[in-house]
Structures are given as structure tokens and as C-alpha cells.
Structure 1
Amino acid sequence: MFYEPGKTDHGLPHDPFKACVVPRPIGWISTLSPEGIANLAPYSQFNNLTFDPPYVMFSANRLPSTAPKDSVRNAETTGVFCWSLATWDLRDAVNATSEHFEYGIDEFARAGLETRNSTLPSLELALKDGSKKRVPMVKNSPINFECEYYSTLRLPGNPPMGSVDVVIGKVIGIHIDEGALTDGKIDVRKTLPIARCGYFEYAAVKETFEMQPPVDDVLMKVGLAGNTKGHRAMQDQMKE
């Protein structure tokens, strides 16, 4: 079969596009409003972009009112946000935080989630009432990122929800539960991350396999592995 999105009908009972690009990691993004209200929401269009320094992105479709999602609004206003790994054990909370609430509702509280504070100074925000508060993260998630907002790419689309805000952030702090490690590597058999598939389907990553890329160039291997130390060593060699 072949169809042109928005031009010709695919003839299927359900739209297949999102089911083609799978599995997609989940951007479980937490932010604070300028008033200090926490927000937490999962985004199925999320990924890392590069490794030295590390950047991530999450993509948020506009609301039916054409207004930006709360996560976008807060990240742009405060300049910071956090990410927590969505896991099998936390799947019900991930789903609960996908519900759309009016601006100013604390999704951590609504989902019954414990929080942990971000630690870096830039994620401690001065609020409108003069107090200070840190951006919260999901306490029981085995991996958390602290991020500085970098930019937003706004893609036009068909109203009311076709337009999308692609938010890019620089990862400046990474928390990893040592219980998630095996032989110095993050073990998906311990973290059991969940990913979005098509329709309302999800997958739990429980096993992996390894393939070494057919690349002899050392610098290319460093990049493919995301090896920051190796990359910095190569930089030093190039300067000599």
C-alpha cells in the first residue's frame, strides 16, 4: 500500500504513521511554573541528540486551543527542566500524568508520586513570591536528567493540534541509581524502560543484543559509542 498523508486515504481503520516509528523513548518531563507549581507529563516524541555535550529534545503538540503545552511554557519561561526514565514499575503513573489538566495543577501530587529535588544551582528558581524552589524529579525513577533549556523549534501544522513545539535542552546533570548497573553498564533488565509504540500500545525493554559496527576509524567508533572521555582524548591529540 502507499498513501500521501493529508492527501490520499490509507484505507486502514487506524492511522499507521506513529506505528511505523517504534519504539519511541518517553520524555517524562518535569518543570516548575514561575509560581512554583510542579508539572509532569510524558511525551512519546523524545530522544537524545548528541553526546558531547549531551542534548535532548521533546516534542509537544499544541493544545486544541493552539496554546503550547505546560511543559513548553514552563521550560521557556524558567530556562530549565528535568527528565525521568519511564519504567515498567512506574507505568501507571506515566499514564496518569498524560491526562491534561488546567495550568497550575501538580501532576506529581495527582499521580501520587514522590519527588526528589534537582541539585544544580541553575535549577533552583526564584519564584514570583520571592521564595526559591528546585525543579522536582520522579524519586523512584532510576535515571534523571537535569537540563538547561536551549531553544524551541516550532513546526507548523494543521489546526487545532497539528502544530508542534520541539524543545531542545542541554543535559547538565545526570543521576543514575547504582542498582541499575551491571558491570558498570546500565542494565535494561533492571530498569525495564517502557517505550511508546503505535496507537495506545507500549513496549517494555527487557533484553538487548550487541552488534559491533563495521567501522575502523577510531573517532567514528568513539562517536557511535557516545564515549565522552575518548572524544576529549581525541581532541587533545588533535591539539598537539
Structure 2
Amino acid sequence: MDYDSQNRTLPHNPLKAIVAPRPIGWISAMDRDGRLNLAPYSFFNAVADDMVAFSSSGRKDAMTFAESGGDFVCNLASHPLREAMNDSSAPLPRGESEFAFAGLATAPSRKVRSPRVAGAAAAIECRWLQTVPLRPLDGSEPTNFLVIGQVVSIYIDDRFVADGRVDTAAMEPILRGGYFDYFRITPENRFEMHRPKGGGDFKRP
């Protein structure tokens, strides 16, 4: 089967089902006036050792608040918080708190103004670096924007740190698939592989 924008042989674009599962950037941001926004973004990832990025379809509040306030926080979306994460995606009017709507408490960040989700197992504090308009091939006005931030501090719940390593699986992150699908990481589905000699930067004990 072949699929492209001209040959729509499937009812839905399969890209999100193929590039999956994807980490979820649960972005909290505060604008210069102190208004808060919290929303999940599945077009999200680390893009360097100390940088992360998320893509906004349209100029949504997480992006504009990050630009206005100069920072944002990427909260870990985990299985215990899955319903709250989903609730925070509701299209609320600007100024109405997704934290309150989803029944979540805030906690102060260490190095940025934007707060983190108090119950999140981990949170990545970022300074906003730039927003890159993603202009399509036809040269039309961009409708998607890549928001890039530099990591300045990371919060990790002490329960998930052992022997100097973060236990990712114990935090039970949830990942986004296509359609209405999500995936869950657990200790049972973890496996380990070591790179060839000289590959990677993690020093084995």
C-alpha cells in the first residue's frame, strides 16, 4: 500500500501510528502576566544533551506563554497521572487553569518561573531559546512551530533514583501512539543492550 497526501488510501494519516510510541512533553508554562498553561505534546523529544523541543500545531498557549515568560517545564506523563494528563488537553478558554481543571497541584521550579506538576515523577526545567516556523514545501504560511528550550535544571522524585541511575521503567512513563492509542513502560518490558566498544558515552561498571 502507498499513502501520500494525494493518494489517501487510508481514512487517517498513518504517520502518528508509525512514528510511535512517542514521548509526551507535558508542558507547563507561565506568561509574563503570571497566567498558567498545562498541555501534553506528543511531538516532543530531547534534541541534544541539554536541549528539548516540542512542536505546536498553531500558536497555542504553551508556545506563546513560553515565549512571553521565557521558560517552560516538561513534566513526565506517567501511568498514575494518565487521566489528569488527558484532562489537561481540554480546549479551555485562555486564562482558565488546566491545573485546576485536571485536579493537579503546582510546585515551584528551581530555576524558572513556570511551575511543575507537583505529582510528576520528574520535570525538566527549560529556558526558551527560539521558536522555528516550519514552512511547508509549497511555501505557504507555517501552521506548525518548533519550540526549543535549553535544560537548566531537572527534578526527579528520590524514589526513582538508585545507585546513581534514574529508574525510568519504575516511573511508568506513558507514550503516544496513533489514533487513541497509548503505551506504558514497565519494568517487565525493559531489556538492556550494550553498544559496541567505543560506542555511546555511558560507562559500564
Write out per-residue CA displacement over residues 110-161 of structure 1, whole angstroms, 9 at most, x where no aligned residue: 11101100122xx2xxxxxxxxxx3111011010111100111111359xxx
Corresponding letter in the other structure for 1:202: Y
Q: Residue in 1 aligned with 2:118?
A: 139
Q: Residue in 2 aligned with 1:211?
A: 193
SS at match of 2:16: helix
Q: Residue in 2 aligned with 1:3?
A: 3
Corresponding letter in the other structure for 2:123: N
53, 59, 64: which is aligned to 1:57? Answer: 53
Q: Distance in 2 between matches of 1:7 and 1:90?
A: 39
14, 18, 32: which is aligned to 1:20? Answer: 18
Aligned length: 198
- Asked if 1:165 corresponds to 2:145, the answer is yes
Q: From the superposition, tell whether residues 189 and 3 of structure 1 become closer, same or farther in structure 2 (CA, over 3 Å).
A: closer
| Pairwise CA RMSD | 1.8
Deviation at 1:103, TM superposition (A): 1.6
159, 162, 181: which is aligned to 1:179? Answer: 159
Q: Is the 8 A contact 2:128 2:150 kept in 1?
A: yes
Write out per-residue CA displacement over residues 19-54 of structure 1, whole angstroms, 9 at most, x where no aligned residue: 000110000000112221111000001000111xx1
Deviation at 1:184, TM superposition (A): 2.7
Corresponding letter in the other structure for 2:195: P
Deviation at 1:3, TM superposition (A): 2.1
SS at match of 1:93: helix
SS at match of 2:79: coil
Higher deviation after alignment, 18-27 or 103-112: 103-112
TM-score by length of 1: 0.78
159, 168, 174: which is aligned to 1:188? Answer: 168
Q: Is the 8 A contact 1:27 1:43 kept in 2?
A: yes
Higher deviation after alignment, 184-193 or 75-84: 184-193
Q: Distance in 1 between matches of 2:130 and 2:154?
A: 20
SS at match of 2:147: strand
Q: Distance in 1 between matches of 2:48 and 2:163?
A: 24
Unaligned runs of 5+ in 1: 63-67, 124-133, 228-240
Superposition map of 1:1-240 within 5 A: 1-4=1-4, 6-9=5-8, 11-51=9-49, 54-62=50-58, 68-120=59-111, 123=112, 134-157=113-136, 163-206=143-186, 207-214=189-196, 216-217=197-198, 220-222=199-201, 225=202
Corresponding letter in the other structure for 1:104: G
Greater fraction helix: 1
Q: Is the 8 A contact 1:16 1:198 kept in 2?
A: yes
Q: Residue in 2 aligned with 1:231?
A: none
Q: Distance in 1 between matches of 2:3 and 2:12?
A: 13
Corresponding letter in the other structure for 2:55: S
Unaligned runs of 5+ in 2: none
Q: Is the 8 A contact 1:33 1:104 kept in 2?
A: no
Deviation at 1:104, TM superposition (A): 1.4
TM-score by length of 2: 0.90
Q: Residue in 2 aligned with 1:126?
A: none
